[in-house]
A and B are shown apart, each in its own frame.
Chain A
Amino acid sequence: EVQLVESGGGLVQPGGSLRLSCAASGFTFSSYWMSWVRQAPGKGLEWVANIKQDGSEKYYVDSVKGRFTISRDNAKNSLYLQMNSLRAEDTAVYYCARLVAVAGTLSYWGQGTLVTVSS
């Protein structure tokens, strides 16, 4: 059974940093692109970042470029999102998801972790 479990969310002040983790199991993690998607309270889904199987390609939504870094450790079956210079508008539930890159299909999702940016 495919499982994705996020952790690392919490309350952080504007300008602060946070690192999210996503532990994957039930599939060969190193064979798949992975994504982070976020959802602000009461709002829709917003794609945040993608990373290729070996980490050699990374893509970001414009609003997080230069502030967020997606990475992975295939030996640990783990996906990460380092978030720096956080803003109030980054407040959201962050989901990790397995991506079928050629089709843009997010086939499995974690349960999400809440990031709140507030003073």
Chain B
Amino acid sequence: QSALTQPASVSGSPGQSITISCTGTSSDVGGYNYVSWYQQHPGKAPKLMIYEVSNRPSGVSNRFSGSKSGNTASLTISGLQAEDEADYYCSSYTSSSTNVVFGGGTKLTVL
């Protein structure tokens, strides 16, 4: 099963905004409004940050937002803070029996 495509790394300075893209196909990202984003700090478990393209779970900062256009979803983090430095993974529902497909992950560095 093919992974979704994410940039390997992005960086930004405190206070700035960054956007991470996640490109799939019409069988996953483009076909459903079921894209999720996960944050993972080193040595820790992933944490759900965005679900169903643009919804935030309770307790997640409103600095995190999600969107989608065609086969590409995006995660935007505004007002970057040092604690945002982490790996970010997108995932999507897929019509195949795998049900869940992940992106390769993006390392966010806060300069």
Interface size bracket, A side = 20 to 34
How many residue-residue contacts, CB under 8 A, span A and B?
75
- In the bound complex, residues from chain A placing their C-beta under 8 Å from that of B57 are 107
Contact of A45 among B44, B47, B52, B105 (CB under 8 A): B105
**What distance in Å separates the Cβ of A80 from its nearest Cβ neighbour in chain B?**
19
Is A47 in the interface zone, CB < 8 Å from B? yes
A interface: dominant SS: strand
> Known: A44-B105, A47-B101. Is A104-B45 also a contact (CB below 8 A)?
no
Inter-subunit contact B89/A62 (CB<8 Å): no
- In the bound complex, residues from chain A placing their C-beta under 8 Å from that of B44 are 111
Which 10 A-B pairs give the minimum distances between C-beta atoms? A104-B93, A44-B105, A103-B34, A109-B45, A104-B100, A47-B100, A105-B51, A45-B102, A44-B104, A105-B36
Which B residues lie at the A interface, using CB under 8 A? Answer: 1, 3, 32, 34, 36, 38, 44-48, 51-52, 57, 89, 91-94, 97-105
